[in-house]
A and B are shown apart, each in its own frame.
Chain A
């Protein structure tokens, strides 16, 4: 048997837990994304950052003028400071969903890039983690960029607010994991559109623009169970410094999303490529 470097590397992992689905090299996928990104999508990334800023100015200041302050947990808060964290959470979601649906669907069904990857000694979990890693990087960049705009405007009253950046990453992770899992089940772009159809109402009703208290009790209950609402409350709690045990609940919610999403993605990729 000829022992090439590639063989030696693969043999070194023999006997490890999950060796058939994970080779410990998701960074190679990450590296690919970085190279591809360097040469193409700067404008797209930049534009994802511009969107929440535009909303902040249009709604936060424009509507804020008409609305005045908003009550949140007994505090009276300027409208812009109220919606800023919601916009951050939403952009983390949108970026992650775009990366993990459209993008992945294309690579899966059109470019057949994953076929190439999985013909090497990589496993499906490497692919899933690597791709999601990119979504996290994007979530991180949006978080930092948005904070750089809103903090100087005085919209982050609490020092805890700095934690909104890792929170954005966590949120992006959750949505990317679940988004990718769903994408692996989709057969056409039209089916993919279904995801977007769920996103719009979620965006409109998850308490981005006003407290959920305007809704009837039963509806509040449903909305609170939705991931975007969880995300908004997590980030808002941090930027407004309203730290309480509830935040741990939101965090656990996203950890569950991550675990479930990764599990199904790996399982599905395995099934798709081991047919």
Chain B
């Protein structure tokens, strides 16, 4: 029979200071590690998504539109070129939602691993920031891949086109931070996805001047564009990728809108996470 001797005090020393100062990085790291499990899936989707959409709608539908629009094109360019920046921002938003909503719902309602993290010196604020940072990384990756696919399709005409990367990322993280805050409030996830997808995301996707200029929509529907990060980012993206006409005032308005949303999203996520964990 073995008598096991458990020595007291042999535990590794935990550096409290370090955890307290870098908590959000630890959380982000954990999230990224979780993402790495599906990294091939994520990459495959990140490449396949733009290829499929650009081919089917950009090239396919584009063939019919370009034919009927004649040499003037849509907004002065081929339909593919017109459409691509909107799809770029859409992909950023989709990626951001995946990485903010799912982990948040899991963390509070599914595995409840946020409560476990919170039992260590990591605070609610840090968990919120960590989830946000991980989603930021995913969005940047998705957008860069998308951008190169656009390049391959010949959809980038301006020398400033690379700046469409940060404006698309902005749309993603602005939207993602807001949905992260909302997800933090949810007790029951069942209905949320379907309803959020179909009643909010889908209309925003379809009516944000994505497939044709916002100005060609009936005026009573144009407000959808104004509240949609997708439209604001797309306007910037179109200016940057092919020189869509944009006044300085409007450019600043778009950026201010996206930044405000981002700041609000992060602020409320942190607050909501902290309050919920304190309960």
Q: A190-B38, A210-B64 are in contact. Are A51 and B195 (CB under 8 A)?
A: no
Chain A 203-215 interface 0/1 with B at a Cβ cutoff of 8 Å (1 = within): 0110001100010
A58 / chain B contacts, CB cutoff of 8 Å: 206-207, 211
Q: Nearest CB to that of B206 among chain A residues?
A: A58
Q: Does B13 contact A (CB under 8 A)?
A: no
Q: Main SS of the interface on chain A?
A: helix
Closest Cβ of chain A to B208, distance in Å, is 10
Contact A210:B61 (CB < 8 A) given known A44-B194, A58-B207, A204-B56: yes
A70 to B68, CA, bound (A): 11
Q: In the complex, what residues of A have CB within 8 A of residue B198's CB?
A: 47-48, 50-51
Residue of B nearest to A47 (CB): B198
What's the Cα separation between A47 and B202 when bound, in Å? 11
Binds B, one of A11-19, A59-67, A115-123, A165-173: A59-67
Q: Is the pair A209, B60 in contact by a Cβ cutoff of 8 Å?
A: yes
> Is there an interface contact between A67 and B191, defined as CB atoms closer than 8 Å?
no
Known interface pairs A44-B191, A58-B206, A201-B52; A67-B65 also in contact (CB < 8 Å): yes
Judge whether B30 is part of the interface by a CB distance below 8 angstroms: no
Please indicate the chain A residues that have their CB under 8 angstroms from the CB of B60 in the complex. Answer: 205, 209-210, 214
Partner of B206, one of A54, A190, A197, A205: A54
| Bound CA span A49–B68, Å | 31
In the assembled complex, A4 has its CB within 8 A of some CB on chain B = no
CB < 8 Å neighbour of A204 from B57, B69, B194:
B57
Report B168-209 CB contacts with A as 1/0, cut-off 8 Å. 000000000000000000000011001101110011001100
Give the contacting residue for B212; candidates A41, A57, A63; CB below 8 A: A63
- CA–CA, A226 and B47, complex, Å: 23
Chain A residues, CB < 8 A from B206: 54-55, 57-59
Contacts of A62 in B (CB 8 A): 211-212, 216-217
Contacts of A17-63 to chain B: CB distance below 8 A: 40-41, 43-44, 47-48, 50-51, 54-55, 57-59, 62-63
Instruction: List the A residue with the shortest CB-CB distance to B207.
Output: A58
Chain B residues within 8 Å of A209, by CB = 56-57, 60-61
**Residues of B within 8 Å of A, CB-based: how many?**
34
Residues of B within 8 A of A197 (CB): 44-45, 48
Cα(A5)–Cα(B211), bound, Å: 62
Contact in complex: A204, B64 (CB < 8 Å): no
A193 close to B (CB within 8 Å):
yes
Interface of B, helix, strand, loop or mixed by DSSP: helix
Contacts of A210 in B (CB 8 A): 60-61, 63-64
CB B68 to nearest CB in A, in angstroms, measures: 5
Closest to A205 in B: B56
Q: Which residue of A lies closest to B59 (CB)?
A: A214
Given the known inter-chain contacts A43-B194, A50-B199, A54-B203, please indicate yes or no for A66 contacting B52, CB distance below 8 A: no
Q: Does residue B41 face the partner (Cβ distance < 8 Å to A)?
A: yes
Check B115 for interface membership: any CB of A closer than 8 A. no
Contact of B202 among A41, A54, A65, A67 (CB under 8 A): A54
Quick one: which of B191, B203, B211 contacts A63, CB cutoff 8 A? B211
Chain A nearest CB: distance from B31 CB in Å? 17
Partner of B63, one of A47, A59, A200, A214: A214
Q: Is A68 an interface residue (CB 8 A)?
A: yes
Q: Is B111 interfacial (CB-CB < 8 Å)?
A: no
B58 to chain A, nearest CB (A): 11
Option from B38, B49, B56, B68 in Cβ contact (under 8 Å) with A68: B68
Distance in angstroms from A91 CB to nearest chain B CB is 11
* Contact A190:B199 (CB < 8 A) given known A47-B194, A63-B211, A67-B68: no
Q: Is the CB of B195 within 8 A of A44?
A: yes
Report the minimum CB–CB distance from A66 to chain B (whole Å). 5
B53 within 8 Å of A (CB atoms)? yes
B277 on the A face (CB < 8 A)? no
The 7 closest A-B pairs by CB, nearest first: A204-B56, A58-B206, A47-B198, A44-B194, A67-B64, A66-B65, A68-B68
List residues of A whose CB falls within 8 A of some B CB.
40-41, 43-44, 47-48, 50-51, 54-55, 57-59, 62-63, 65-68, 70, 190, 193, 197, 200-201, 204-205, 209-210, 214
Interface, chain B (partner A; CB < 8 A): 38, 41, 44-45, 48-49, 52-53, 55-57, 60-61, 63-65, 68-69, 74, 190-191, 194-195, 197-199, 202-203, 206-207, 211-212, 216-217
7 contacts between A and B (CB under 8 A): A47-B198, A54-B202, A59-B206, A66-B212, A209-B56, A209-B57, A210-B61
Give 10 new A-B contacts, CB below 8 A, not counting A40-B191, A47-B198, A210-B64. Answer: A44-B195, A50-B199, A51-B198, A190-B41, A200-B52, A201-B52, A204-B53, A205-B52, A205-B56, A210-B60
